Amino acid sequence: MNRVLVLNGPNLRRLGTREPDVYGADTFDDLVALCRDTGRHLNLHVEVRQTDDEAEMIRWVHEAADERTPVVINPAAFTHYSYALRDALAQRTAPLVEVHISNPAAREEFRHTSVVAGVATGTIAGFGLTSYVLALQAVAELLAEQDAKEDTTT
């Protein structure tokens, strides 16, 4: 069973109370349950983490790179300005999917730029918590493709 880290940036533990008109009424615990359940269905071991600390997020990204662990990441506010996070993510050694609950392109101007998108395998945004389900499905598919390639070369 492949391990996948689902990393969440600042303020995401406040889901359910933070701007429910933008992020919905589901809580962070609901997100954790959804990701773990989705992972079980996809034969993935999903570990969900959240931090408001940029340095901690970077440490987790380094851990994933060192262990060749796929990552689904909602960088939250780090999306728009954290070149340190972007540089850490550029060291990835496994699939990396950027995910957002809302659609940043449909929001304030400062949210339109993602400094991490250029180093991600892909980005999924605007589907509420379903964005995470889609991201985990993408990771599962990418891992299956990778395994199939390895099988044909051995």
Mark whether 100 is an active-site residue.
yes
| Residues 71/61, Cβ–Cβ less than 8 Å | yes
* Measured distance CA(1)–CA(97) in Å, rounded: 19
* Separation of CA 43 from chain center: 18
Query: How far apart are alpha carbons 49 and 64 in whole angstroms?
Result: 12
What is the per-residue pLDDT for 113? 82
Geometric angle at alpha carbon 3, from 135 and 26, rounded to 5°: 45
74 is in an annotated binding site: yes
CB burial string 124-142: b at 16+ within 10 A, e below: bbebebebbbbbbbbbbeb
Distance CA 17, CA 66 (A): 35
100-144, pLDDT tens digit by residue? 998 877 676 767 689 999 999 999 999 999 999 999 999 999 999
Do the annotations mark residue 26 as ligand-binding?
no
Token pair listed for 5:
């880290």
Asked if residue 143 lies in contact with residue 2, where contact means CB atoms within 8 angstroms, the answer is yes
41 in a known ligand binding site? no
> Is 41 part of the annotated catalytic residue set?
no
Rounded distance between C-alpha atoms, residue 32 and residue 137, angstroms: 16
Instruction: Please give the residue that has the higher pLDDT: either 45 or 153.
Output: 45
- The order of strands in the sheet holding 71-74 is 44-50, 2-8, 71-74, 96-100, 122-125
Considering 83, 100, 112, 132, which one is annotated as catalytic? 100
Residue 87 assigned as binding residue: yes
Q: Considering only CA atoms, which of 61, 49, 72, 48 is closest in space to residue 132?
A: 72
**For the segment 66-103, what is each residue's pLDDT rounded down to a tens digit?**
999 999 999 999 999 899 999 999 999 999 999 999 88
pLDDT at residue 19 above 80?
no
Walk me through the domains of the chain, giving residue ranges and CATH numbers. Answer: 2-153 (3.40.50.9100)
